């Protein structure tokens, strides 16, 4: 099978997964389309759009901070536009990370002198965001210790999250040490696949970020603020639109984990997958109306899609390659 046909088949199958999941949710009463319409009433629409704008803004500033570590500077507007273009492609490519590939491509194209560092900045931005989401979910889950004691599924989830959290801690600790970086470089397996020195340059780029504790703290705080915007959106929707009695701890637990699940390359922008995930997490936490979870992630996806449409406009108007300021150039 040709590469193009294989890609088309793969994308079609993942689109069908999204459609089938949504159909199953609606038919089983786990997702009410009318509740989505209710959530998008004019008095809430502007608030939700603004909260997602803040989410994207914090993500943009976080990425800018990482780029500065590599002595590459984008203006906020330029970085924000690339982020919007990435969101647009999230809906055109399976999963929630397809846009990262596009953003990475244009970052490299606009900064040809530091290709590896520019591409790695996108990867590190995603990695730090993921680590912060795991941390938020873990802390929130620990605050629900009474539920954990009586629910085996939550116990398993707690162990899993703790394992992932410790893995991130270990990863960043290794990254801070030049001795460990050198040790990894000297491994035969790494040297064997050291194509054009790219793995070595990626390790060096990771070391630059990991050893800067102030940068890590700043990017983690920005990630937490970014996630908080989405959490506030869900909380407003649950409390004000549907008068659902729900705690902040539950929302801080469910939203980050759902955003992680939507990034899996299963369906375009995590549609369908996100609805199942948020419903399941609300149900695990014994929320009285877990179907509100499916509604909430749908509203988030619609808001992101709206901003992604603006990204498609910027994409069509994008020049080939624009000038990027490099410190010391």
**Residue 134 · residue 256 · CB < 8 Å:** yes
Please compute Rg for the chain using Cα positions. 21
Residue 11: name the closest of 88, 101, 94, 96 by CA. Answer: 94
Q: φ and ψ at 326, to 5 degrees? A: -120, 130
When pLDDT is averaged across residues 259-280 and rounded to a whole number, the result is 88
Per-residue confidence (pLDDT) for residue 50, from 0 to 100: 98
Q: Which has the minimum average pLDDT: 69-73, 159-163, 302-306, 307-311?
A: 69-73
When pLDDT is averaged across residues 93-118 and rounded to a whole number, the result is 75
Q: What is the pLDDT of residues 7-58, one digit of tens each?
A: 667 777 877 888 898 888 888 888 888 889 889 988 899 999 999 999 999 9
The percentage of the chain sitting over the pLDDT mark of 70, rounded to a whole number, equals: 90
**Residue 256 · residue 133 · CB < 8 Å:** yes
Per-residue confidence (pLDDT) for residue 231, from 0 to 100: 97
Residues in the chain: 329
Per-residue confidence (pLDDT) for residue 220, from 0 to 100: 96
Cα distance between residue 36 and residue 295, in whole Å: 6
Cα distance between residue 67 and residue 76, in whole Å: 12
Residue 229: name the closest of 129, 154, 139, 79 by CA. Answer: 129
> Residue 237, Cβ neighbours under 10 Å: how many?
23
**Residue 60 · residue 54 · CB < 8 Å:** no
- What confidence category does residue 311 fall into, taking pLDDT thresholds of 50, 70 and 90? very high
Residue 272: name the closest of 20, 99, 10 by CA. Answer: 20
When pLDDT is averaged across residues 198-221 and rounded to a whole number, the result is 88
When pLDDT is averaged across residues 288-314 and rounded to a whole number, the result is 94
Cα distance between residue 294 and residue 274, in whole Å: 7
When pLDDT is averaged across residues 282-287 and rounded to a whole number, the result is 94
């Amino acid at each position: 099978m040709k590469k193009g046909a294989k890609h088309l088949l793969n994308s079609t199958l993942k689109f069908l997964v999204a459609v089938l999941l949504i159909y199953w949710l609606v038919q089983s009463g786990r997702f009410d389309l009318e509740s989505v319409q209710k959530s998008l009433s004019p008095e809430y629409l502007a608030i939700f759009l603004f909260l997602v704008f803040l989410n994207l803004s914090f993500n943009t500033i976080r990425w800018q901070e990482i780029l500065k570590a590599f002595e590459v500077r984008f203006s906020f507007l330029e970085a924000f536009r690339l982020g919007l273009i990435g969101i647009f492609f999230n809906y055109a490519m399976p999963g929630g990370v397809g846009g990262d590939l596009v953003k990475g491509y244009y970052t490299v194209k606009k900064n040809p002198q530091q290709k590896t560092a520019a591409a790695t900045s996108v990867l590190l931005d995603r990695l730090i965001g993921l680590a912060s989401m795991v941390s938020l979910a873990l802390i929130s889950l620990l605050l629900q210790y009474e539920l954990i004691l009586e629910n085996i599924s939550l116990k398993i989830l707690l162990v899993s999250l703790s394992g992932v959290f410790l893995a991130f801690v270990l990863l960043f600790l290794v990254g801070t040490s030049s001795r460990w970086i050198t040790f990894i470089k000297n491994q035969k397996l790494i040297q064997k696949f050291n194509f054009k020195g790219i793995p070595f340059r990626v390790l060096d780029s990771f070391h630059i970020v990991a050893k800067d504790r102030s940068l890590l703290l700043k990017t983690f705080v920005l990630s937490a603020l970014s996630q908080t915007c989405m959490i506030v959106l869900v909380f407003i929707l649950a409390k004000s639109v549907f008068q659902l009695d729900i705690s902040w701890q539950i929302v801080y637990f469910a939203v980050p984990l759902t955003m992680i699940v939507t990034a899996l390359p299963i369906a375009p922008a995590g549609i369908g997958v996100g609805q199942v995930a948020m419903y399941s997490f609300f149900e695990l936490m014994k929320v009285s109306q877990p179907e509100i979870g499916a509604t909430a992630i749908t509203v988030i996806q619609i808001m992101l899609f709206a901003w992604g449409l603006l990204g498609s406009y910027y994409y069509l108007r994008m020049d080939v390659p624009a000038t990027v300021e490099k410190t010391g150039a």
